[in-house]
Chain A
Amino acid sequence: MSLLQNLKQLRPLLVFEQVKARRQHRLLSGLGVVGVMTGLCLVGIYLRVSKAPGQKAAWFESILRDYVNGVNFSIITLGASLLIILPMMLGVFTASSLAGELQAGQIRIMALRPVSKWAIFLSKYLSMCGYCFSLLLGMMLFSYAVGSLVFGPSGDIFVWDPGVVGSHKTEFFLKEPVAWQRFGLMYFLSFFTLCSLAAYFLMFAALLKKTAPAIAVPMGLYLACHIVGAMPIMDRLNAYLPTKYLFIGKYTMAPNMDWSLVMHDGTFLVGFTLAYLVIGGIAFCNSDL
């Protein structure tokens, strides 16, 4: 079947995937979690910057008071969600979208139509990418809105190691226009991180074909890679772990962005993503339905 035919088949499949996602309230659940994360971050930061007058405020708190606004509050919320919460949601929804439908036999009724298995697989991936985009957009708008209401809409920002995405341990200030650029870039690059994770979970869903293992196994491996990669004694292994190249958005949180590092890690990220898609696609296309 030609590539063009495959692409033509994608349109109705994508529409179908969108309808299914909407009816399963996937976006609503995702945005609910985003809301909770934003709320927790808001309370956490608010407690730091609102120490009662007269108390001896630490240097960090006083800096925060002047240099936290909607922009870096949103970045902090994203950083706090990117390691566990967003991947966990992606894992659950991706597994239920492919392995769940395989297990229930719903994929079979779709495969009884003139659509190739590749098109079905690709439509699931693209729909998950759309989900990642919506989730990030929702998080960006909501966390910025909440942050700007409480801490102010804009201004110079203070950046420190968020401690979750492995950025360089630095603390520095960014001027307002640069802060906005970094804010946009952080979200933009995080989109690729989530798209790669979607491909990773989809590959496991195609390989394992059952919902529970398709959530537990890749999630376990993902966390194991993070834990192992973060232990100094095993740092030599880190270079071979797929999680090393996952968070390319971390490079936006440096005084001067090193684009060569973004390109380097980005190339690996794309390579891993393609490998996940090819392996998953082959496994899915060769499975009996």
Chain B
Amino acid sequence: MTTPAIEARGVSKAFDARKVLDNIDIHVESGSIFGFLGPNGAGKTTAIRILLGLMTPDSAEVEIFGKDLFTDRDQIVRQVGAIVESPVFFEYLTAFENLRYLASLSGPVGPGKILKALETVGLAEVADRKVKTFSFGMKQRLGIAQALLPENRLIFLDEPTNGLDPHGIMDMRRLLRQLRDELGITIFLSSHLLVEVEQVCDHVCIINHGVKVKEAKVSDLLELQDRVELCCPESDQAKVLSLRLKQAAEHHCSHGKARFLLAATEPDIPALARALVAADVSILKLAKHKKTLEDIFVELTAKPQTAPAAAGL
């Protein structure tokens, strides 16, 4: 069994009386892309700062690659890189110089390695340009190059696609997959852009108001949330309700159509179809409905409201 990249238990932090993180556990497998989700102000950046030893927690046990963060931080940060909040550099230095002098703090690093890192993120051609001339997207990529040096095995990326255009986001996604697949780097990705997380992450942890609300494999999470969607004319709504389908989860009507989400899976569709036909329901649509991570995220992090009218089927 491989040592987990991150094993954090009971991470808590409060600013004055406000609890920002409340007893959070985080487990990240080596070589995976771990999505750390939460709405703005959920405590994502605070958690990252604690995991990097930049902030003192009120309580926490953190092991990175099996080493205790609070006693072996020096050894740990030799293998860990990060962009926290936004990529900040010394703007009056060139991209190459920034990487050279920052990486030199971890030990001697040859120019070849620096150029390789710049090449990986697609900035080799602008290595000698001052960072002040870089666009935000270029700075994000330079931040990743910085996080890769000297030979880091784990990188923390805090909202790396913030401020990027769609092309930039796609490039970033490609880059993250490349880092995991080709270099075996573990990536801890904090974001609230759910499409991005859904597409690149293996595992996901969702926090809200400093409390962990879900942690699972992305595929499992999406699978668990599978539904079958049934649409019929609103006039047939009563017929469907009269079937008292046990799987019915929720329904609503609009524009003369009734839409039901049934807690069923794809193999249940033929039987459902037979029952509906037998009940003389005009089926407009009967298909597998896959919830997106966004749907799940919104459900899990929504502010407490009065429960929506559930179908009493």
Contact = CB atoms under 8 A, between A and B. Distances in A.
A13 B88 contact: no
Interface stretch (A69-77, A108-116, A152-160, A254-262): A108-116
A105 interface: yes
A110 B102 contact: yes
Nearest to B152: A112
A173 interface: no
Given A1-B74, A12-B105, A109-B102, A289 B90 contact: no
B121 to A, nearest CB: 16
Interface in A1-45: 1, 5, 9, 12-13, 15-16, 19-20, 23-24
A289 B74 CA distance: 16
Interface string B97-125: 10001111111000000000000000000
B88 A109 contact: yes
B88 A113 contact: no
A57 interface: no
Nearest to A19: B101
A84 interface: no
Nearest to A104: B88
A16 B54 contact: no
A117 to B, nearest CB: 10
Interface string A96-128: 000000001110111111111000000000000
B81 interface: yes
Given A106-B90, A109-B88, A114-B74, A12 B55 contact: no
A112 B101 contact: no
B86 interface: yes
B94 to A, nearest CB: 10
A103 to B, nearest CB: 10
Contact of A112 (B54, B55, B92, B97): B54
Grouping DSSP codes into helix (H, G, I), strand (E, B) and loop, the A interface class, with mixed when no group exceeds half, is helix
Interface residues of A, number: 26
A289 B146 CA distance: 18
A108 B86 CA distance: 11
A112 B86 contact: no
Contacts of A16: 101-102, 104-105
Contacts of A109: 88-89, 102, 146
Nearest to A9: B105
A144 to B, nearest CB: 32
Contacts of A20: 90, 92-93
Contact of B89 (A106, A115, A116): A106
A288 B49 contact: yes
B76 to A, nearest CB: 9
B49 to A, nearest CB: 7
A13 B102 CA distance: 9
Contacts of B54: 108, 111-112, 288-289
Nearest to B86: A105
Contacts of B92: 20, 23-24
A106 B17 CA distance: 29
B285 to A, nearest CB: 51
Contacts of A288: 49, 54-56
B104 A114 contact: no
Given A288-B49, A289-B55, A105 B104 contact: no
A113 B106 contact: yes
B82 interface: yes
Contacts of B80: 112
Given A23-B92, A109-B102, A113-B106, 5 more contacts: A12-B101, A23-B93, A111-B54, A112-B81, A113-B103
19 contacts: A12-B105, A16-B102, A19-B97, A20-B90, A23-B90, A23-B93, A105-B85, A106-B90, A108-B88, A109-B88, A112-B81, A113-B102, A114-B73, A114-B74, A114-B77, A114-B78, A114-B105, A114-B106, A289-B49
Interface of B: 49, 52, 54-56, 73-75, 77-78, 80-82, 84-86, 88-90, 92-93, 97, 101-107, 146
The 6 closest A-B pairs by CB, nearest first: A113-B105, A105-B88, A288-B55, A289-B54, A114-B74, A16-B101
